[in-house]
């Protein structure tokens, strides 16, 4: 009986592997189009880029919202590998500021258009909104731990206000404005962020 079932099992495994490959290809194609500037790729373009038929796209994803959500989740998981800030909380202040700014700039430049897409989708996709909220809490905690010494010295309510200001100054939204709205290079944007953080901490 086992020998008879093996060909059927192998066939099923092959179909599953092919489905997984095609699904990944569709997500890759979607992300590529977003990174190239198309914030709302249509299914025809995604199908053509991925090499998967238009009909097959909807076999792998219920609708465009599910495809977009899956793409954003893939990017978010990948970006988490860039989240660490390699500096001790006891390091000199300038070193800590430089490390924070470097990490945020590197991460946000790599996220780029997909970061903007996730914020555009958050209003109608609760899962993405929740992921953004978790990311923002994590980033805020990073700032709090990194500058705990300076924030504690300020006392309340100043420490809470300064923490909030630095959190916003070093957010994706602020960095994206510096890079895209104001046309700054990465070097200038990092310098602007560092100056603003230093000024906030006094």
pLDDT for 38 beyond 90: no
Domain that holds residue 186: 77-201
Look at residue 70 and tell me if it is in a domain: no
CB 146 within 8 A of CB 100: yes
85 shares a domain with 57: no
Look at residue 68 and tell me if it is in a domain: no
Nearest to 200 by CA among 166, 172, 176, 167: 166
Look at residue 160 and tell me if it is in a domain: yes
pLDDT above 90 covers what percent of the chain? Answer: 50
The pLDDT value given to residue 74: 84
CATH number of the domain at 18, please.
Answer: 1.10.10
Look at residue 139 and tell me if it is in a domain: yes
What's the pLDDT band for 198 if we cut at 50, 70, 90? very high
Look at residue 66 and tell me if it is in a domain: no
What's the pLDDT band for 75 if we cut at 50, 70, 90? confident
Domain end residue (candidates: 61, 87, 108) = 61
CB 30 within 8 A of CB 71: yes
List the single range of 83-87, 90-94, 168-172, 193-197 with lowest mean pLDDT: 83-87
pLDDT for 5 beyond 60: no
Residue 84 in tokens: 């660490």
CB 39 within 8 A of CB 113: yes
What value does the mean pLDDT take over residues 181-189? 97
Look at residue 71 and tell me if it is in a domain: no
SS3 138: helix
The long-range contacts involving 159-166, CB below 8 angstroms and separated by at least 24 positions, are 162/200, 162/201, 165/200, 166/197, 166/200, 166/201
CB 97 within 8 A of CB 197: yes
120 shares a domain with 53: no
111 shares a domain with 21: no
90 shares a domain with 26: no
Task: Please tell me the distance from the alpha carbon of residue 56 to that of residue 61, in angstroms, as a whole number.
Answer: 9
CB hemisphere CA count around 29 (13 angstroms): 22
What value does the mean pLDDT take over residues 58-87? 85
47 shares a domain with 133: no
101 shares a domain with 12: no
135 shares a domain with 37: no
Task: Please tell me the distance from the alpha carbon of residue 84 to that of residue 104, in angstroms, as a whole number.
Answer: 10
Q: How many domains does the chain have?
A: 2
87 shares a domain with 180: yes
The pLDDT value given to residue 12: 62
133 shares a domain with 57: no
51 shares a domain with 94: no
Task: Please tell me the distance from the alpha carbon of residue 37 to that of residue 41, in angstroms, as a whole number.
Answer: 9
pLDDT for 131 beyond 90: no
What value does the mean pLDDT take over residues 155-162? 95
The pLDDT value given to residue 41: 85
Look at residue 72 and tell me if it is in a domain: no
Mean pLDDT of the chain: 89
31 shares a domain with 102: no
Look at residue 67 and tell me if it is in a domain: no
CB 94 within 8 A of CB 15: no
């Amino acid at each position: 009986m086992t020998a008879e079932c093996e060909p059927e099992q192998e066939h099923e495994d092959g179909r599953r592997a092919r489905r997984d490959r095609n699904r990944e290809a569709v997500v890759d194609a979607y992300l590529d189009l977003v990174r190239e500037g198309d914030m709302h790729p249509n299914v025809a373009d995604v199908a053509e880029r991925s090499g998967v038929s238009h009909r097959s796209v909807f076999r792998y994803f219920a609708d465009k919202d599910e495809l977009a959500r899956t793409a954003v989740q893939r990017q978010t998981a990948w970006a988490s590998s860039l989240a660490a800030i390699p500096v001790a909380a006891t390091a000199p202040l300038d070193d800590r500021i430089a490390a924070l700014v470097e990490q945020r700039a590197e991460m946000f430049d790599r996220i780029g258009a997909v970061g903007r897409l996730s914020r555009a989708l958050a209003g109608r996709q609760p899962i993405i909104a929740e992921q953004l909220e978790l990311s923002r809490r994590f980033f805020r905690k990073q700032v709090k731990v990194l500058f705990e010494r300076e924030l504690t010295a300020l006392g309340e309510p100043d420490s809470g206000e300064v923490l909030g200001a630095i959190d916003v100054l070093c957010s994706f939204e602020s960095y994206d404005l510096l890079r895209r709205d104001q046309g700054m290079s990465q070097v200038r944007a990092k310098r602007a962020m560092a100056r603003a953080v230093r000024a906030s901490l006094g």
